[in-house]
Amino acid sequence: MTSAQREPVIGCLPPAWLCEMEGGKDVRVESAPYSCSTCDGGEVPARNLTRRNRKVRSLSTSSASTSFEYRRTQSLHGPSPVTTFGPKACMLQNPHAVMHIQDPASQRLTWNKPPKSVLVIKKIRDASLLQPFKELCRFLTEVKSMIVYVEKKVLEDPAISGDENFAAVTKKFCTFREDLDDISNRVDFIICLGGDGTLLYASSLFQESVPPVMSFHLGSLGFLTPFKFENYQSQVNQIIEGNAAIVLRSRLKVRVLKENWEKKSRVDEKGIILTNGDIESSRKAMQYQVLNEVVVDRGPSSYLSNVDLFLDGHLITTVQGDGVIVSTPTGSTAYAVAAGASMIHPNVPAIMITPICPHSLSFRPIVVPAGVELKVLANLPKNITITTSCFPVPSICFRDPVNDWFESLAQCLHWNVRKKQNYLSSEDEEF
């Protein structure tokens, strides 16, 4: 399948919720099943989708009395551009081009059914989170009458299992074990207590559709956790009522093909090795959904690494240095920014490629479209293929995607913090 045939969808919605856009009149449309080739061609079941009537604008120029109309639509990720250029030119229509740019302020959470279950993720063995965890779980079970899922290893903490006053609440929990129990179709939304790592962990638990995630800032940095725990009851109530903005944090679909070499020996009936045998190879493919980044580096080796980068089957460059970072817009403020990359808003559909200590003064980080397929070949028996996943992480915002992001830049990274320049006085201007 060529790059023009791929469907770079990054907004397949979980079954329990929809992404609503503000303005206009609601029109309920029953959609037919469709196939998402980005996710291995699996068929996505039909869902009720909310669409809105759009207004038609009329534009006129001062040099001509004629006017024309165009339709400004808002789709999964923003205003669709006009595809006619001048009087005779236009863009070749591609039915598989389904990725668009959406105004971040228009993304709102709504429920097609009232949420009944919630997954609470807590940082393991953190004593400072015990009291918030217990308060939240009491509120969810006793006040909101919700089904609460908690990972089994969280309840193995002696501070929780040994608390007799909390025993009545823990009996109501539904427990699960990582990598063993599938809860993807049981959880309506997720609440994270901790730092940014809790959101990354929540993403790893769901390798396909991810429920909406509400993250409370109870960790160190808190770049991805916009909520304060002091007002958790009113904030959780707003989420249950569907009154919240969301940001769709795109993930990377990473496929690692590893080639194993094994030496087979020939043995006779008495167990005596006759020959050293032949070397046989086998391949093992593993697939991951990644929220932050994929890093290919030199590891413990002291030698320069050579990593070949292919984009849609074409070799674009060879990274000579300590390695390369392939990150999402969410991951652009993590390892990538420390390696000199720019920071990208999570609503921008893109993939960032950042070299790690390149042995070249001209090798700068680059941003490529989200719909491309990257292939990474290193001096290892591994082949890594990276594309944008069609299963984003719907992160619930405190205000909206734009304000939350710039607030995190200012509060967590102290972006552009500088003592303000003094104004020149009239006396200074004379000199």
Active site residues: 196
Classified as helix, coil or strand, 380 is coil
Taking phi over 0 as left and psi of -120 to 50 as alpha, with beta for the rest, 326 belongs to: beta
Q: Nearest-5° angle of CA 340, CA 415, CA 319?
A: 10
**Spatial CA neighbour of 56 closest among 67, 68, 72, 79:** 72
- Tell me the two tokens of residue 162: 């040994």
Residue 118: CB atoms within 10 A of its CB come to 25
Query: H or E stretch including 199?
Result: helix 196-205
> Rounded to 5 degrees, what are φ and ψ at 106?
-95, -5
The strand ranges marked E within 25-103 are 26-30, 34-36, 42-44, 48-52, 56-60, 67-71, 74-75, 78-79, 84-85, 89-90
Going through 213-251 in order, the beta strands assigned E by DSSP cover 213-217, 244-249
Residue 102 burial class via C-beta count within 10 angstroms: exposed 0-12, middle 13-18, buried 19 and up:
buried
